Structure 1
Amino acid sequence: MTESREHRRRPWHAIALFFLAPLVGEYLLGNQPITALPSVLLLAPMYGAGALLIRELTRRTGRGWPTMILLAAAYSLIEEGPVDQMLWNPRYGGVDMGLAYAETYVPALGTSVALVQDVLSMHTIWSICVPIAIIEIFDGDRRSPWLGRIGLAVTGAVFAGGCAFLAVAQYDAGHFIAPPARLIGSVAVIAALVVTAFALGRRPAPRLDTAARPAHHLALAGGALLTYVWLGFTHAQDLDVSPGTALLGNVVFGGGAVALVAAAARCAERRTRPGGHQHHPAR
């Protein structure tokens, strides 16, 4: 594949990431049933634009996965902190969160350590990093931007709008607002994560041969993605969804995830063949 053809495909990479992030973060996990698939259009402005913004800012500044992971952690706290406030709402979504996480509740924080751990792992790994890693496998040069300056600005505006929309929707649903001290504290932690992410500086790429790099990349991203496939079957049963609908969603979204991993594997294999298009090392 020539560099010009690869460049023309990069907007499609951005679009794919925009929709893959909410599909993995909500639907593959089983949080959303297949009957709510149209709602992906409401979730993508926050999930998808957030993932795309993190990927573009990281690659544009010449940084790698350490920066990406810290920014993804900041995203996690933005979503479950100031946006939907699940970290502090004891009755979030009609579930007794206070009881479910009572054993690790810390009064000084107003939340549970286990809940924070769950939030950080779910969103940092699966909502943000896994979708980015999977889509980057299809790019011949994973370090190159997919958007221009205007596209980046629009993505930022869409992300801000998506966060505002979901924050209002969550308030209308539960009329819960955390104390100002909690919100201010979370914003301070988020800011610290962002500052640290860009303070890391640029790092050299790992010294792996060309064949090993795509294999390692795919093994980590694909393995994590498939973890959500089997987890979704059990998680969907805990929701107020009919067993048939839940199972249908598990099969459809799980099958889609398997197909995506298979396609990524074929793409990685083609790039490592002798005479194939060689990409720059991912960091």
Structure 2
Amino acid sequence: MSTLTARHPGFREALAFEWAKFASLRSTRWTTVTIGLVTVVGAVFVGLSGSLQPDDTVLGGSLTLSVVSLMIAGVVGALTICGEYASGTLTSTLAAVPRRGRVLLAKAVLLAGLLYGLSLVACTAAYLLGGAILEDGTYAQGEPMPALLGIAGLFAVVGVLGLAIGVLVRHSAGAVTAVIAVMLLPSLFGPLFGDMQRWVAGATPTAALEKLTQTADASPEAVGSLGAWPSLALVAAYTVVLLALATQRLRRRDA
């Protein structure tokens, strides 16, 4: 008498499955491409507009609209899972890969890898274009390295943050609203928290982005007094916490 043992798909198979789904959805593909387009087109627009302040850097000016791209990255993360909840395809996903933590990890790794690569190329291109358009010697160049690596890492983190929020909220509109709130509200309300402003305002992905891009708008009053890399580390830390909570919720609730 023989015993048949069901074999659960491994992580590589789960990752390949997630890539196939991601690549097959036109809306997700184009939304992701928009991240790069907004970043690069924004550098050209700002460079030609003559709107930079004397204390701006080429890096900061060229990546002015990257804050919009960063929000789109969070939205992509949220829609990656909320789209499956809405269409009911998550049930098929979990039938193919029963280990729910593995499913969410595969989604997170895929999003992080795609967004890191895309944003690194787009932000580097934007910086080079901005430097070519802006008049030599008018603005300081800034320090693109390792800042560009940190910016790309921030895009990856925000994509995973959006994914975690999507699992917790489950509805597209609510998840997108929550992502935008996390991105903007702490910076807006930070001054109301007195001495805690450096933590509240500095906890937002947008604050970390402004510090990494070395924009003249990244004043302690606006984005907190934490440094660029501590802000990035703080965003990454609470993203990991939210992803862990999302994993527990995915395991305990029906698809």
- Which interval holds the TM-score relative to the shorter structure? 0.3 to 0.5
- State the TM-score, normalizing by the size of structure 2: 0.34
**Larger proportion of helix:** 2
- State the TM-score, normalizing by the size of structure 1: 0.32
Identify the structure with bigger relative contact order (alpha carbons < 8 Å, sequence gap 6+). Answer: 1
